[in-house]
Chain A
């Protein structure tokens, strides 16, 4: 077992992990942060996307020990402490960007990474960026619409359900 220490959503986090412990296992099972989901476990679906040192990664395809000393952000750190949703989360609610909600944590974290690098993406930019995030309910239209709205752009012309 190896002791890992990292910062998760601004708070110090530590634990003893095996070499094979995935970052997502550490977050869910050791930290109790079950908002990060495991969908496919084969790095296809993106439900497990978190930020490590500001970059979106699939936490099912990274070892916990590789996050030694890193700053990790998860879906639990997105809303304000009083529960007020952040801009992206609120846009998902306003534009019906989720149905069952399983993919939503990864979608929100990917959207946050996109908007950090590209604050005014085109619809095509958003669709391309979501290449690694699979949703089986919405057909993506309202997710794209929500992300465009979160970027402060007029979405009235974008098709939605």
Chain B
């Protein structure tokens, strides 16, 4: 790692001020950023740690919405959201491994938007909202592509809001070495329709599988999606699986998620 300064603000306002420094970058749980720095893929001169900002931690649920502070760890979400939104708690409780979940945060995951990360699928399928220090961004407008989001320079994810569906399930097929999803699908069934978000598959990052949404909104059954094929032409092809294989997995994971909800 190249060396850097570390700032440890205790309020969002102080963090925003610190991020105005030249070549500054926010540090949340560090479970992606620190390995990235070790590989010298990033070289910030200042890291602004969000870990000590109390107003960015914690979980609340009311009026059909779960709100999670940006600096809340996966372990906390897995524990504290279990009653309000069990499918989301299950997603959080299966990220990485226990030690990673004790450090990694929802804000970090959503800000990084790794094309194989779990949280983006949960946020997008839940018709969520990304809250920053300056505005609120609907999930449909937030995830722009692989590692790309609507965040501006110096903007911090202070919270993420989820609409609680009637039922939901997150089904993931692990890439066994990295423990990231090779492909994972989050199906959320709302009174006014079904949302299906896919991670791990597309070269453009998380996306909604709209054909499946239409089919499931009309008939929420495994049979309704059995004949659908996701388009593999713009999917990730690497040594772990071809685009066609990932496209096939999108269908399999969707069917399993629907089956789990209907069980």
Q: Is B31 an interface residue (CB 8 A)?
A: yes
Q: How many residues of B contact A (CB 8 A)?
A: 26
Give the residue name and chain of the A residue nearest to B38 (CB).
A41
Contact across chains for A19 and B4 when beta carbons are under 8 A apart? yes
Contact across chains for A63 and B98 when beta carbons are under 8 A apart? no
Q: How many residues of A contact B (CB 8 A)?
A: 27
Q: Which residues of B contact A49 (CB under 8 A)?
A: 99
Q: Is A42 an interface residue (CB 8 A)?
A: yes
Interface residues of A in 24-60 (CB under 8 A from B): 41-43, 46, 49, 55-58
Question: Chain A 53-95, CB within 8 Å of chain B: the 1/0 string?
Answer: 0011110011101101000000000000000000000000000
Which residues of B are interface residues toward A (Cβ below 8 A)? 1-6, 8, 27, 30-31, 34-35, 37-38, 47, 49, 51, 75, 96-100, 102-103, 179
Give the residue name and chain of the A residue nearest to B179 (CB).
A131
CB proximity of B104 to chain A, nearest CB, Å: 9
Q: Count the A-B residue pairs with Cβ separation under 8 angstroms: how many? A: 74
Contact across chains for A129 and B38 when beta carbons are under 8 A apart? no
Q: Which residues of A contact B35 (CB under 8 A)?
A: 42-43, 61
Closest 5 CB pairs of A and B: A132-B97, A131-B97, A19-B6, A55-B102, A20-B1
Report the separation of the CA atoms of residues A110 and B99 in the bound assembly, to the nearest whole angstrom. 8
Give the residue name and chain of the B residue nearest to A64 (CB).
B6
Q: Which residues of B contact A18 (CB under 8 A)?
A: 3
Question: Chain A 1-33, CB within 8 Å of chain B: the 1/0 string?
Answer: 010000000000000001110100000000000
Q: Is A113 an interface residue (CB 8 A)?
A: yes
Q: A19-B47, A63-B30 are in contact. Are A113 and B4 (CB under 8 A)?
A: no
Can you report 17 A-B residue pairs in the complex whose CB atoms are below 8 A from each other? A20-B37, A42-B38, A43-B35, A49-B99, A57-B99, A58-B99, A58-B100, A58-B103, A61-B30, A63-B27, A63-B34, A65-B8, A66-B30, A68-B8, A113-B98, A132-B98, A133-B97
Q: A61-B30, A61-B35 are in contact. Are A19 and B98 (CB under 8 A)?
A: no
Report the separation of the CA atoms of residues A129 and B183 in the bound assembly, to the nearest whole angstrom. 22
Give the residue name and chain of the A residue nearest to B47 (CB).
A19
Report the separation of the CA atoms of residues A57 and B2 in the bound assembly, to the nearest whole angstrom. 23
Report the separation of the CA atoms of residues A113 and B101 in the bound assembly, to the nearest whole angstrom. 13
Contact across chains for B3 and A20 when beta carbons are under 8 A apart? yes
Q: Which residues of A contact B27 (CB under 8 A)?
A: 63
Which residue of B4, B31, B49 is within 8 Å of A61 (Cβ)?
A: B31
